[in-house]
Amino acid sequence: MGIEIERKYLIKKDKWNTSLAKDGVQYRQGYILTDPSKTIRVRLAGEQGYLTIKGLSEGASRPEFEYEIPKEDAIALLDNFCPATISKVRYKIQFDNHLWEIDEFSGDNEGLIVAEIELAREDETFTVPDWIDKEVTAESRYYNSNLTIHPYKDWK
């Protein structure tokens, strides 16, 4: 079983600039199942499709199973089985021996920019870039699955 250990942060928009990253990839993703204890996600990342099953989060960790699927299958699943989808561009930045993934959302989540870092251990130390703002790992409204249901444009 795969375990995902991920921490999530907001971006300081005055310091973030897409010139820090190269070649963002367009993502479209939706959820067949969103439940507090598990999610089933379909993702189209550029030209590649994925089916991902995630379990209940405990701290920054949760079980994760991800499988590549054909692009056409991902599109069919998104169009026919996901009640809502999100769109974003993902940028990848290597910083001090860690990979940061920055998601710049569009559509109903326009204006939201979130950075994630995957770790080998929950207590792993890492350097935080100056364009990172506050941590939102434990705030469920920032979960992508929740953004399909309660988009950023509706937040007060």
DSSP 138: T
pLDDT at 1: 65
Q: At which residue do the structure tokens 């251990």 appear? A: 121
Catalytic residues: 31
Say which amino acid occupies 10: L
Return the CATH number at 130.
Answer: 2.40.320.10
Query: Residue 150 is inside which H or E element, if any?
Result: none
Which residues span the domain enclosing 69? Answer: 2-154
Say which amino acid occupies 99: L
Indicate the number of domains in the chain.
Answer: 1
CB within 8 Å of 61: residues ≥ 6 apart: 3, 4, 5, 122
pLDDT less than 70: residues of the chain: 1, 18-19
Kindly report whether the global pTM for this prediction surpasses the value 0.85. Answer: yes
The CA-CA-CA angle for residues 150, 111, 14, to 5°, reads 140
pLDDT at 15: 85
pLDDT at 14: 86
